[in-house]
Structure 1
Amino acid sequence: MSIYEKLRHIQLGLKAPKSQYNEFGNFFYRNCEDILFAVKPLLEEENCTIVISDELLLIGERYYVSATVELIDCETGEKVSNRSYAREEHSIKGMASSQITGSASTYARKYALNGLLCIDDSRDPDSADKSDADKPTSPLGKEELLNEFKREIKRTGKSYKYFLREAAANAIEELSEDFLNNALIMLRKCPDKKKGDA
């Protein structure tokens, strides 16, 4: 059996449920650990192993983590791989530089695994969803992002405190453009607040 046939069997047999829960957005999601936990029994069945490696790349003025996932046939040594990238933030309040790199690594590894194992996360809030709500109408600057963020908070009745806690920030002005863009994707999927809500 070739490595591609084994990969196909693993893809078809893999069940990686979304066991993590986000209370704010009221959605379930899967993380990298969930995928690895689910795939291990199938790797044993097919006598294969997975090796994940990271590489730090400087592209322009920004650093990216490149994560490569290799599926290796333990009998023949055949390999098939997939790669994904995640950009590091310049800084995140309350996080050391090693934590910022680790966060980007986790993100890149998850999507490298998704690609290799044929997992569709298109409905997850941190993915490139194809819905109109996720498509920016135009590139916004920091001030415009903040204004849109405030409007969405008012419309949905959500709390600023949640986002400040997630970003380890003391004020919304400290939120990065990347964080604001992701927050807006989440907020646009939330319904209007009910009448009578504070």
Structure 2
Amino acid sequence: MEKEKMTFSELQREMQIGKSKSVKNYSGQTSYNYRNAEQIYEHFKSLDSGWILIVSDKMHEILGRLFVESTATVSNSSEEHTAVGYSEHDQVPIFEKSGKQQMQKPQWTGAVSSYARKYALQGLFAIGENDVDDLQSENLNDTPKASKKDDKEVKAKLEKINAQFERALRAAKDKEAPIDQLTNWSKMDKSQAVKDIAMWIKENEVNK
């Protein structure tokens, strides 16, 4: 007899994993409990839930700052659910005492991506309890923090771009855009994709 597959709400309940034990940060000064994207992946795979999980990244430059946008999508034969997480790709953290970088640039890029993916996954599976931001601890990086006003502006800009992209993509689907073209737009930077979709719709209307 075939095993009964989980509903999405059941999957969310099963994904409520705790944090690992307290560890010290890179400076050795601050202890924190943590949960990362890799732990969430491993727990998901252990469930054999009947769902498929895909996480992808895109880069966005907004107000002169670079962000990683991670999109987590879980699907089965009849449903699909998506959540997005963001993390700023700032300078590599510096040890206060030695003044040396805490990791190489490729490692830092991977850490920023993992951080964005963690929040996308936590949003997707409604995993509760906020995490300590170990990547941006005051003990790790003496780079001046952006103001709350700047953060709100960046968040508003990201939300605006996402909304514009979703509207443009729906309009293209209504105009019966080819599936390969829809897929290509989904892989592009969203700001550029909105422009390309608008141009395609305009050309499509002219050619009719």
Bin for the TM-score computed over the shorter chain: 0.5 to 0.7
Query: Residue deviations 1:98-142, cap 9 Å, x none?
Result: 2332221111000001100011132x3229xxxxxxxxxxxxxxx
Q: Kindly, what percent of the aligned residue pairs are identical?
A: 28
CA contact (8 A) 1:89 1:100 kept: no
Is 1:126 the counterpart of 2:93? The answer is no
Query: Residue deviations 1:161-197, cap 9 Å, x none?
Result: xx3xx45xxxxxxx21249xxxxxxxxxxxxxxxxxx
> Counterpart of 2:23?
22
Relative to structure 1, the CA distance from residue 27 to residue 87 in structure 2 (aligned partners, 3 Å threshold; closer, same or farther) is: closer
Q: 1:20 Cα deviation (Å)? A: 4.1
Is 1:61 the counterpart of 2:64? The answer is yes
Q: Which amino acid aligns with 2:129?
A: D
What pairs with 1:164-179 in structure 2 (closer than 5 Å)? 166-167=140-141, 175-178=142-145
> Counterpart of 1:36?
41
Relative to structure 1, the CA distance from residue 58 to residue 27 in structure 2 (aligned partners, 3 Å threshold; closer, same or farther) is: closer
RMSD: 2.5
Is 1:7 the counterpart of 2:8? The answer is yes
Is 1:50 the counterpart of 2:56? The answer is no
Is 1:71 the counterpart of 2:78? The answer is no
Q: Which amino acid aligns with 1:41?
A: S
5+ residue gaps, structure 2, are 1-5, 95-100, 147-208
> Counterpart of 1:109?
117
CA contact (8 A) 1:51 1:70 kept: yes
Q: 1:10 is paired with a residue of what secondary structure?
A: helix
Q: Which amino acid aligns with 2:118?
A: K
Question: In 2, distance between residues paired with 1:13 and 1:90?
Answer: 36
> Which structure would you say has the larger RCO, counting Cα contacts within 8 Å and 6 or more residues apart?
2
Q: State TM-score, norm by structure 2.
A: 0.53
CA contact (8 A) 2:73 2:83 kept: yes
Query: Residue deviations 1:24-80, cap 9 Å, x none?
Result: 4444221111212222233x23x111000000111121110000000011x34x321
Question: In 2, distance between residues paired with 1:48 and 1:81?
Answer: 13
> Counterpart of 1:83?
84
Q: 1:106 is paired with a residue of what secondary structure?
A: helix
5+ residue gaps, structure 1, are 128-148, 150-162, 168-174, 180-198
Question: In 2, distance between residues paired with 1:85 and 1:112?
Answer: 8
Q: 1:118 is paired with a residue of what secondary structure?
A: coil
Q: 1:91 Cα deviation (Å)? A: 4.1
Q: Which amino acid aligns with 1:16?
A: I
Relative to structure 1, the CA distance from residue 99 to residue 27 in structure 2 (aligned partners, 3 Å threshold; closer, same or farther) is: closer
Question: In 1, distance between residues paired with 2:119 and 2:80?
Answer: 18
Question: In 1, distance between residues paired with 2:82 and 2:123?
Answer: 9
Question: In 2, distance between residues paired with 1:55 and 1:120?
Answer: 25
Q: Tell me how many residue pairs correspond in the alignment.
A: 127
Q: 2:7 is paired with a residue of what secondary structure?
A: helix
